[in-house]
A and B are shown apart, each in its own frame.
Chain A
């Protein structure tokens, strides 16, 4: 398209539109092929497919039933907690600790499940603080963390803050004049909800519910650690057991197909309604108006926020308090560092390539999907953003494993596989981070760039890069953190003798070395925080100078 323009004197590198279309398209195609091959190779190894056997098996029927049941309950509970929290956070724009609460809510997306679980055990487990309190006040209460209780608690711990965060963003994106009209008219309670808040939340709810459902449906580490037996098993765990212990490939493939059908069907429903699936509307907060409230309301909502903050903080505190003595070399127990450091090395070797890969794949997919919007081929790069959510990573990994088995000699290759799958699994979340800034480039800027002949590499360099380098650093942090916390894929391919940090933690939890587990948990937590702070620091100085160079090109860019 650029070559025909008369006043484009320079040949811009990568300015052909194919550079934006093909890589993302091929990646999407590759992912679909990978999934098909994964399932296909399982089926080929298994021989034949027998759906009837699944539905006549009482065990499998129960697994499917329980998976759906716990996921539905988790969605309902998470949303029920998230709605009042988001409303309260939207109402009170200024209270001490609000920023920290927001950070804490963001952390839930990347907090490794296994770390959170160790914290939850420290609070609600048999020897936990909460349980101790309960024993004091209510002897014979019969509380046990293990089973449905623990699964729901952990799922709400992860998804409640995620949901509240997304809803808060939706509430903050309400146009200021509308909020001001509501303020002036003195709307409160039901009418505030009906006139202003519900209309703002309605578009994000289906996508949000589908996301939480999918995350809980495919939950693995939580079920493994808190499930407490075969009565509380999900499909993902059943697939793991079929693969790792029973070597029943056909059952694994069947279960994987069932999982794909249920979650895929759900997302198809969401998409068919043409509902906005962008979970993170990239809006900056304006100056909101104060809202009418009853006298008791600040007390009630304050108590709610304090309770919610405690719910999030106390498990982390449990990790920190129990882990600190282990990490500090004051104790007389043998040092945990040799084990920790080698596990950290392995974890980083897997996580950093996974993070970089996920950002690259996400950018290429987004570019391609934007470019192909309206064409049927556009489905392929869009799929890259959703398929990893619903495809069991174990299936993907096993398929690849069987395919590559003859050449998979050493553990290094196994780790490359883990890294690859981790990267793919992170893509949906990374895409959510990058989507807003990438498609948020306003039409005026793009029109000016067209007129000035800024295409290809130059457009990326001068228009997108300054806007994107901060989100990209954040996305890289997300991708790396998700892989650092991965337990599912590594559980299948890793060898117990060479654990990554989450595997080490799982082993310690499994052998009741609670103190060491707390040390490892805290270490992993600190590692994550280091990743996030260092990446946000790297990207900050440039972000200050970027708008200046951008504004020379396009005065309107400031409003983007």
Chain B
């Protein structure tokens, strides 16, 4: 279970801090709702460790993780854009998710290949992100996130601007992850995204 325990944060120019307090079960998808500027993306950044909270804790399976570094947390984030490293090809981009020095075993190589094929990206391994469409890039980003096999996925508007067909593919990939037991936190403006993926809502 992921517990957000009385987390507090404010930007330097902000007078009253934001408060966050909720729990998500493993295998559950929680949609976070609220008007823009209400701190949705900030919340995800706090959980991922990109920002430091003023007070409060983040616990995973009862263990506090809010003091650890981003790369030490059992978390993978997918953003709306700029997920990929533009100057590296698709294989390397995904490989970096498995090992930060792209030291891949043969089995890893195979996993990447079959995952690419499953996502309809067969033969795209040597392409550069710039040669892909927006939907293809998001599929690669999500593949990298999934192949990292971390138990928590933070999704910050991952479908925004994508067409319906691409969304269906991404929905299927994410639902598979949920079935596998992954915990999902979703920030999305889109009704359809939330209805398809979320089990529960939490309002800011």
- The chain A residues found within 8 Å of chain B, CB to CB, are 175-178, 180-188, 190-191, 194-196, 198-199, 202, 287, 289-290, 292
Contacts and interface: CB of A to CB of B under 8 A. Distances in A.
Contacts of A185: 71, 96-97, 100, 148
A181 B100 contact: no
Nearest to B141: A181
Nearest to A188: B100
A33 B195 CA distance: 69
B77 interface: yes
B49 A290 contact: yes
Q: Which 3 pairs between the two chains have the least Cβ-Cβ distance?
A: A186-B71, A177-B79, A175-B82
Interface string B74-90: 01110111111111100
B101 A180 contact: no
13 contacts: A175-B81, A175-B82, A180-B48, A180-B70, A181-B84, A183-B49, A184-B70, A186-B72, A187-B96, A187-B100, A194-B88, A195-B85, A287-B51
B33 interface: no
Given A183-B71, A184-B70, A289-B70, A191 B83 contact: no
A interface SS class: helix
Interface string B148-188: 10000000000000000000000000000000000000000
Given A198-B87, A199-B87, A177 B70 contact: no
Nearest to A186: B71
B101 A290 contact: no
Interface residues of B, number: 29
Contact of A184 (B48, B87, B88): B48
A193 to B, nearest CB: 11
Given A175-B82, A195-B87, A196-B85, A180 B100 contact: no
A17 to B, nearest CB: 36
A191 B50 contact: no
Contacts, number: 78
B136 interface: no
A194 B92 CA distance: 11
Contact of B50 (A186, A190, A194, A287): A287
Given A188-B100, A287-B51, A292 B71 contact: yes
A419 B73 CA distance: 61
Contact of B101 (A181, A191, A287): A191
B100 A186 contact: yes
Interface in B37-95: 45, 48-51, 69-73, 75-77, 79-88
A436 to B, nearest CB: 21
A184 B85 contact: no
Nearest to B154: A184
B40 to A, nearest CB: 15
Given A177-B79, A180-B79, A290 B86 contact: no
A177 B81 contact: yes
B104 interface: no
A241 B74 CA distance: 69
A289 B50 contact: yes
A504 B88 CA distance: 56
B204 interface: no
B102 interface: yes
Given A175-B81, A185-B97, 16 more contacts: A175-B82, A178-B85, A180-B45, A180-B48, A180-B79, A181-B82, A183-B71, A184-B71, A184-B73, A184-B77, A186-B100, A198-B87, A199-B85, A287-B50, A290-B70, A292-B100
A494 to B, nearest CB: 50
A184 B76 contact: yes
Contacts of A180: 45, 48, 50, 70, 77, 79
Nearest to A176: B82
A292 B87 contact: no
Contacts of A183: 49-50, 69-71
A199 B86 contact: yes
Name which of B71, B88, B96 has the most chain A CB atoms within 10 A of its CB: B71
A274 to B, nearest CB: 16
Contacts of B83: 177-178, 181
Residue of A184, A202, A287 most packed against chain B (CB within 10 A): A184
Contact of B69 (A177, A199, A292): A292
Contacts of A199: 85-87
A190 B84 CA distance: 17
Nearest to A202: B87
A187 B95 CA distance: 12
Among A177, A178, A181, A195, chain B packs the most CB atoms within 10 A around the CB of: A181
A346 B79 CA distance: 58
Contacts of B102: 191
Contacts of B45: 180, 287
A188 to B, nearest CB: 7
Contacts of B48: 180, 184
Contacts of A198: 87
A181 B77 contact: yes
A94 to B, nearest CB: 11
Nearest to A196: B85
Contacts of A196: 85
A289 B100 CA distance: 16
Interface string B123-146: 000000000000000000000000
A191 B92 CA distance: 10
Contacts of B79: 177, 180-181
Contacts of A194: 87-88
Which of A177, A183, A186, A187: most chain B CB closer than 10 A? A177
Interface string B98-109: 001110000000
Nearest to A192: B100
A185 B96 CA distance: 7
Contacts of A292: 69, 71, 100
Contacts of B85: 178, 181-182, 195-196, 199
A180 B81 CA distance: 12
B74 to A, nearest CB: 11
A105 B81 CA distance: 33
A198 B85 CA distance: 11
A69 B153 CA distance: 55
For B81, B82, B102, the residue with the greatest tally of chain A CB atoms inside 10 Å of its CB is: B82
Contact of A191 (B75, B81, B86, B100): B100
B17 to A, nearest CB: 15
B204 to A, nearest CB: 19
Nearest to B52: A290
B82 A191 contact: no
A93 B85 CA distance: 22
Contacts of A195: 85, 87-88, 96
B69 A290 contact: yes
Given A199-B86, A290-B69, A191 B49 contact: no
Nearest to B88: A195
